[in-house]
Structure 1
Amino acid sequence: MTFRTSLTLILTAAGLSACVSAPPSYQYSRSMPQPQRPFSPVDGEWADANGIVSTFQNGTFSTRTTDGTNTLLASGNYVQKSDRLFEINMTSLVRNTQSRVNCALVTQSQLNCTSDAGGQFSLSRRG
C-alpha cells in the first residue's frame, strides 16, 4: 500500500467517523436518587388499648386488625405540626367517614390523641 492510499483510507475513515454522532448524554446518565423524607419521631407501629395496630410511615397512616386477617380499618396521611404535635387525616373504611385526629407525642412511646369529634385515646409504641 502506498503512502497516498494509506492517507486516503485514514482520511476517509476519519470523515466517516465524524458522521456518526454519539447518542445524547442523557441516555447514559443515572437517575438521581429521590430525596429521603426526614425521619419522623412517630414512624413505626403503635397500638391502642384494644390492641389495634396503627402504622405511621413516611407521611402515611394505616390501621389494621390483629386477628390474623390483617384487615385495613382506616388509612390516610399525617403531617408534623410542631416537634410534638401531629395531625392525621384519615378515612375509616369501617364507618365510611373521614376525620381529623390531633396527636401529641408525650413520650417516645406514647401518643395522646383527640379526634375532631372529641373522642380521646392513647397509642403506645410497639417494639
Structure 2
Amino acid sequence: MRQWIRLATLAAMAAGLAACQSGYGPGYGGDPNSIEGLWLDPNGIQSSFSAGRFETRTTDTNTLLATGKYTYINPRLVQVDIRSLVRNTNARVNCSLVSPTRLNCTSNEGGQFSLQRRLG
C-alpha cells in the first residue's frame, strides 16, 4: 500500500511539473531564463532557438535566411554563431535575455538589435 501511495505522489508531482512547464504558448517552456522558442524582430523576421540550433525565417513565405548554433555563456547571456544564407557570411552575436520576452543582441561589429518573444 505504501509503495502505491509513493507512486501516486510521484505521478502527481510529475504532472504538476509538466503543467508548470507548458507556460506561455508554443515554443516557450515557461523558464524565464531560457531563449528556447520563437522570437520576432521589428521587421517581422522570425528566429527560432531550439536545443542549441538557431534559424531565421521570413514570416510571410517562411524562407530560410540564416542558420547557426547558440551556446549559453551564463543563464542570461547567449553567444550565437550565424551563417547568413542571403549574404553568404558568418557572424557572431551576443544576446542578453533582459526579460522573459525581450532579447537584446550585439554583433561583434557593434550592431545592435532586439527580439521580442512570440507568444501564443
> Do these two structures clear the TM 0.5 threshold for a shared fold by scoring above it?
yes
Instruction: Work out the CA distance in 2 between the residues paired with 1:101 and 1:78.
Output: 9
1:44 matches 2:17: no
Secondary structure of the 2:74 match is coil
Letter in 2 for 1:60: R
| Aligned sequence identity (%) | 57
Instruction: After TM superposition, give the deviation of residue 108 of structure 1 in Å.
Output: 0.4
> What residue number does 1:82 align with?
74
Instruction: Work out the CA distance in 1 between the residues paired with 2:113 and 2:82.
Output: 15
Superposed CA RMSD in Å reads 1.2
1:64 matches 2:57: yes
Letter in 2 for 1:47: L
Larger Rg: 1
Divergent runs of 4+, >4 A: none
Secondary structure of the 1:81 match is strand
Q: Provide the TM-score with structure 1 as the length reference.
A: 0.67
Instruction: Work out the CA distance in 2 between the residues paired with 1:78 and 1:122.
Output: 16
Instruction: Work out the CA distance in 1 between the residues paired with 2:75 and 2:36.
Output: 14
Structure 2: tracts of 5 or more residues without a match: 1-30
Per-residue Cα deviation, 1:44-65 (whole angstroms, up to 9, x for no partner): 0000011100000000000000
Structure with more of its chain in strand, by fraction: 2
Per-residue Cα deviation, 1:6-32 (whole angstroms, up to 9, x for no partner): xxxxxxxxxxxxxxxxxxxxxxxxxxx
Instruction: After TM superposition, give the deviation of residue 116 of structure 1 in Å.
Output: 1.1
> What residue number does 1:29 align with?
none
Name the structure, 1 or 2, with higher relative contact order (CA <8 Å, separation 6+).
Answer: 2
Instruction: Work out the CA distance in 2 between the residues paired with 1:121 and 1:49.
Output: 9
1:109 matches 2:101: yes
Instruction: After TM superposition, give the deviation of residue 99 of structure 1 in Å.
Output: 0.4
Instruction: After TM superposition, give the deviation of residue 73 of structure 1 in Å.
Output: 0.3
Instruction: After TM superposition, give the deviation of residue 117 of structure 1 in Å.
Output: 1.4
How many pairs were matched up?
88
Instruction: After TM superposition, give the deviation of residue 110 of structure 1 in Å.
Output: 0.3
Structure 1: tracts of 5 or more residues without a match: 1-38
